[in-house]
Amino acid sequence: MSEFLSNFHFLRPYFFLAFIPLIYLLIKNYRQQAGSSVHWEKVCDRELLPYLLENGGGENSKLAFSLASFCAFLAIIALAAPTWQRLPAPAFRNNSALVIALNLSESMNAQDVKPSRLIRARYKIADLLSQRKDGQTALLVYSGAAFTVTPLTNDIETIHSQLEALTTDIMPSEGNNSVAGLEKAVELLKQAGLPQGHILLITDSANNATEFAKKLGGYRLSVLGVGTTEGAPVSLPEGGFAKDESGQILVPKLQTTELSELAAAGYGRFQIMTADDSDVKNLLQTFDSPLNQTANDKTNLFLEQWEDSGYYLILLILPWAAWQFRKGAFYLALLFLLPIPKNSYAFEWQNLWKTPDQQAAQSYDKQQFSQAAEKFENSNWKAAANYQAKNYDKAAEQFSQTNNFYNLGNALAKKGQLQEALNAYEQAIQENPYDNDAKANKEIVAKELEKQKQEKQQQDSKQNQPQQNEKSDKDSQEKQSENKESESKPEQKDEHKAGDNPDKKEDSKQEQAKQESNSQPEKQDQDEQKSVQAKKQVEAQKLTTEQAQANEQWLKRIPDDPATLLKRKFKYQYSQQQ
């Protein structure tokens, strides 16, 4: 009872102001009824008053008046929302954070576990993310230096999309600096303002990181060991195996003793990678266990959500409301209950649960790039989606707005605007002189421009040669026609003089035959010229098709995968650190 009285209150107490007009109306109505009855009682008999007065002051009218007053009183209290118990809602917020630090040194390419240590580690990260229900997660990689892949986020799909791009080739420096990875993990947790959290180190060895693990404070360090104690040589891409300074083949082994001491110093769990998901489940038990909370820790919050119990009072009012209904009032209520036409708006159910960028990211993962480009609000992601959808015009405009000159050069190169692409690559190199990808693409574009210039010069020279030949042919034809006219004129004079001499007629026939024989090689020359021009046109068409195919093959060589982007990012950050 004491708990009920201590928790009882009204959610909307301002509705009690409705008692002021209610009391005024009740007093006024009571006075009118009392005054009218007293006035008529002086003139008429009391037995006649019920028949003379409408709603006379009988017992029925007093009962109706008292019931109406009582129901109005209950309605006001119901609107004030009395309550005395909380709603069964979540009363805490999970702020647990996990930073995954993955070793990308050369030893992770060993194949003592198939297909390799690094690939199996990526699989384990994917399993861990899929089974982790809540909390923030970050991913970083390290070798000689540490770099952030994704900061602390609740969006697991973003981390999933980056896993395939994690190879040892993207790291700008060699080594196995576990301390640098742990320092970067602590930095990410502190940047998020979290005094407590978990760190998972995925590696095959840790070089003297135990002393640093003892100084982590409120952060717990767990280790997932990758590999076997027997080890295996590290194969190189160009062939052969990695060797040490003395020339012997390196056989990196899983340092279980060193890693277990490291996890113990960090007050975490050491787990060797297994073929099933038992290792992931054991680690999740550690990550899901609550950390020691300080007095000022406000991660557990009481939600001020109370149950509105005013509807119980409405149930008491319903019988009186049903008794007061009339037919007219019933039909009037039906009119108010009819649906009112409203404007229709486009609505998607996913808008309640996911932002447009998250919906677009799902479409992007499904390779529905055109739909993703329409939904993305982030300009960089929208440009990337348009680029993948081969809408290079839009992609180039959006990359130019964000001053992303490297990707702008790629989009312009895909469009065939090689000179503009060359200028974009030059601007990218000016911003980052260590951008080797931009330099490589610039060289490719410059070579292609030179080829096109040479092909144009060759085509122009070929087109000029047939024109000169045509002029020389025309001059020779004109000279031959002049000679024919000069020969034909004296023959006509002789005919007029000779008259009907048969010998002369035979001579004229022989001359005509000679002229026809002379005209036949001229026709042959014209036919040969036409065939040569047709062959040149066919060759020009072949050159254009071959050039288009060469351009397509050249454009396919331009890198646009996430691995190169991460490589450029890490190289730029490493140059700034140096």
Number of domains in the chain: 2
Tell me: do 156 and 124 sit in the same domain. Answer: yes
pLDDT in tens, 336-350: 444 444 444 444 555
pLDDT of residue 338: 47
CA dihedral 440, 444, 449, 454 (to 10 degrees): 130
Token readout for 134 is 């809540």
Give me the mean pLDDT over the 369-377 stretch: 84
Q: Is the pLDDT of residue 573 over 60?
A: yes
| 82, containing H or E segment | strand 82-83
Count the alpha carbons within 13 Å of 422 in the hemisphere toward its beta carbon.
Answer: 11
Cβ partners under 8 Å of residue 74, min gap 6 = 313, 314, 316, 317
Structural domain contains residue 423: no
Three-class SS state of 491: helix
pLDDT of residue 221: 94
Tell me: do 284 and 217 sit in the same domain. Answer: yes
β-bridge partners, 482:
none
Residues 109 and 36 sit within 8 Å (Cβ to Cβ) = no
pLDDT in tens, 175-208: 889 999 999 999 999 988 888 899 999 999 988 8
Range with lowest mean pLDDT among 197-211, 318-332, 386-400: 318-332
| Phi, then psi, of 308 in degrees rounded to 5 | -80, 110
pLDDT band at 320 (very low <50, low <70, confident <90, very high): confident
Walk across the sheet containing 97-103 and list its strands. Answer: 146-153, 136-142, 97-103, 197-203, 219-225, 270-272
Instruction: Give the rounded distance of the alpha carbon of 318 from its chain centre.
Output: 54
Place of tokens 């001059």: 475
CATH number reported for the structural domain that contains residue 159 in this entry: 3.40.50.410
- Encoded amino acid at 400, one letter: S
Percent of the chain with pLDDT over 90: 16
Tell me: do 194 and 127 sit in the same domain. Answer: yes
Structural domain contains residue 335: no
Structural domain contains residue 361: no
Give me the mean pLDDT over the 493-516 stretch: 46
Highest mean pLDDT among 31-45, 138-152, 410-424: 138-152
pLDDT of residue 139: 94
Structural domain contains residue 166: yes
pLDDT of residue 549: 66
Three-class SS state of 393: helix
Cβ partners under 8 Å of residue 281, min gap 6 = 131
Give me the mean pLDDT over the 542-546 stretch: 61
Instruction: Give the rounded distance of the alpha carbon of 443 from its chain centre.
Output: 31
| Domain stops at, among 83, 113, 137 | 83
DSSP notation for 275-307: SSSHHHHHHHHHHHSPPPP-TT---S-----B-
Q: Is the pLDDT of residue 507 over 90?
A: no
Range with lowest mean pLDDT among 205-209, 248-252, 470-474: 470-474
- Encoded amino acid at 486, one letter: S
Range with lowest mean pLDDT among 19-33, 225-239, 302-316: 302-316
Range with lowest mean pLDDT among 72-76, 288-292, 328-332: 328-332
Tell me: do 205 and 164 sit in the same domain. Answer: yes
Q: Which long-range contacts (CB under 8 A, 24 or more apart) does 556-562 make?
A: 557/444, 558/410, 558/413, 558/414, 558/441, 558/444, 559/437, 559/441, 560/387, 560/407, 560/410, 561/165, 562/161, 562/162, 562/164, 562/165
Structural domain boundaries enclosing 6: 2-83
Give me the mean pLDDT over the 198-224 stretch: 90
pLDDT of residue 59: 57
Tell me: do 223 and 160 sit in the same domain. Answer: yes
pLDDT of residue 500: 45
Highest mean pLDDT among 217-221, 451-455, 560-564: 217-221
Range with lowest mean pLDDT among 199-203, 350-354, 422-426, 466-470: 466-470
| 358, containing H or E segment | helix 356-365
Tell me: do 34 and 158 sit in the same domain. Answer: no
pLDDT band at 52 (very low <50, low <70, confident <90, very high): low
pLDDT in tens, 119-149: 999 999 999 998 887 788 999 999 989 999 9
Structural domain contains residue 438: no
Give me the mean pLDDT over the 253-276 stretch: 92
pLDDT band at 530 (very low <50, low <70, confident <90, very high): low
Structural domain contains residue 139: yes
Beta strands in 154-294 (DSSP E): 197-203, 219-225, 270-272
pLDDT of residue 341: 47
Tell me: do 154 and 103 sit in the same domain. Answer: yes
Higher pLDDT, residue 499 or 191? 191
Q: Is the pLDDT of residue 557 over 70?
A: no
Higher pLDDT, residue 156 or 139? 139
Higher pLDDT, residue 514 or 267? 267
What value, to the nearest 5°, has the Cα angle with vertex 369 and ends 366 and 373?
125
Tell me: do 57 and 161 sit in the same domain. Answer: no
pLDDT of residue 355: 77
Residues 117 and 78 sit within 8 Å (Cβ to Cβ) = no
Average pLDDT, rounded, for the chain? 76
pLDDT in tens, 430-469: 888 777 788 888 888 888 888 888 888 877 777 666 555 5
Cα distance between residue 36 and residue 18, in whole Å? 28
Q: How many CB atoms lie within 10 A of CB 372?
A: 25
Cα distance between residue 452 and residue 422, in whole Å? 14
pLDDT of residue 224: 94
Structural domain contains residue 147: yes
Tell me: do 64 and 175 sit in the same domain. Answer: no
pLDDT of residue 261: 92
Tell me: do 136 and 261 sit in the same domain. Answer: yes
Structural domain contains residue 186: yes
Residues 145 and 575 sit within 8 Å (Cβ to Cβ) = no
Tell me: do 106 and 65 sit in the same domain. Answer: no
| Domain stops at, among 49, 83, 117 | 83
Q: Which long-range contacts (CB under 8 A, 24 or more apart) does 127-131 make?
A: 127/277, 127/280, 128/100, 128/200, 128/280, 128/283, 128/284, 129/156, 129/159, 129/160, 130/156, 131/277, 131/280, 131/281, 131/284
Tell me: do 154 and 227 sit in the same domain. Answer: yes
Q: Is the pLDDT of residue 289 over 50?
A: yes
